[in-house]
Amino acid sequence: VLVTQTPSSLPVSLGDQASISCKSSKSLVHNNGITYLAWFLQKPGQLPQSLIHTVSNRFSGVPDRFSGSGSVSDFTLKISRVEPEDLGVYYCLQYVHYPLTFGSGTKLEIK
Amino acid sequence: QIQLVQSGPELKKPGESVKISCKASGYTFTDYAMHWVKQAPGKGLKWMGWINTYTGKPTYADDFKGRFVFSLEASASTANLQISNLKNEDTATYFCARWRVYYGFAYWGQGTLVTVSS
């Protein structure tokens, strides 16, 4: 399954809203009705941080300025009011079809 | 608390082998599968495959069949990744990640940098 993530680079001002798109070549809806799409943030030199699972559910401790939405094969991560600690590379991951596939990444940086 | 602690960086020559470990703590090791993810320098994340920590059965993505072996030391709550006949393109950071149905990857190791250079 091909996962196309855009844009590859996203310059923002602190306090702005940021939006990242992730589109898959197949439906990510499992037979059980659940859609398996996740989002991660990787800061330079660090391990990926898990932000969101099943499209829109935040992991424990993730601020509510991060929100995920979408359905079937078209998904969006929104960050309202970007803060300095939000900078890094964001990846989406589809985990319904094997092999699992990541998007190519979006670098969120200061304008 | 749940932790995945990986072994330290490795510098190897082409043709050599390397074994990376991922030690889990804070949960029952055999209750959750372990996945492996590769990140070449400056590149994105690539899924390598996974190992069933209860049965020991590994599953490999196509690009990682042949020279890559996932194994367990279940008594030590440790998953291992061994790469044989190393090539320059194996230079990367390798992450282990704990899998949970529905949630996917909630916990990651800190990564192990493998550098292959003559």
Query: Are B45 and A101 an interchain contact pair (Cβ–Cβ within 8 Å)?
Result: no
Q: Is the separation of the CB atoms in B93 and A46 below 8 Å?
A: no
The phi, psi pair for A53, rounded to 5°, reads -125, 160
Structure tokens that stand for A50 in this block = 């898990």
CA atoms within a 13 Å half-sphere pointing along the CA-CB vector of B43? 15
Q: Which pLDDT does position B74 carry in this prediction? A: 85
Query: Are B46 and A91 an interchain contact pair (Cβ–Cβ within 8 Å)?
Result: no
A38/B contact by beta carbon, under 8 A: yes
Q: Which of the residues A47, A54, A94 would you substitute to probe the B interface, choosing the one with the greatest number of B C-beta atoms within 10 Å? A: A47
Per the prediction, chain A carries an average pLDDT of 97
Average pLDDT estimate for A39-43:
98
pLDDT digits (tens, 9 = 90+) for A47-83: 999 999 999 999 999 999 999 999 999 999 999 999 9
Q: Which pLDDT does position A28 carry in this prediction? A: 98
Q: Which pLDDT does position B78 carry in this prediction? A: 98
pLDDT digits (tens, 9 = 90+) for B32-42: 999 999 999 99
Average pLDDT estimate for B21-40:
97
Q: CA–CA distance from A84 to each of A87, A96, A103, A110, B65 (Å)?
A: 6, 32, 23, 9, 40
Per DSSP, the three-state class of B69 is: strand
Per the prediction, chain B carries an average pLDDT of 97
Average pLDDT estimate for B103-115:
96
Q: Which pLDDT does position A74 carry in this prediction? A: 98
d(CA B8, CA A67): 35
- Confidence band for B24, pLDDT divided at 50, 70 and 90: very high
Query: Are B45 and A100 an interchain contact pair (Cβ–Cβ within 8 Å)?
Result: no
pLDDT digits (tens, 9 = 90+) for B47-96: 999 999 999 999 999 999 999 999 999 899 999 999 999 999 999 999 99
- A 10 A CB-CB count for A19 gives 14
Work out the minimum CA distance from B6 to partner chain A, whole angstroms.
11
Burial A55-90 (b: 16+ CB within 10 A, else e): bbebbeebeeebbbebeebebbbebeebeeebbbbb
Q: Which pLDDT does position B64 carry in this prediction? A: 98
Alpha helix segments (H runs only) across chain B: none
Per DSSP, the three-state class of B74 is: helix
At position B20, the amino acid (one-letter code) is I
Per DSSP, the three-state class of A55 is: coil
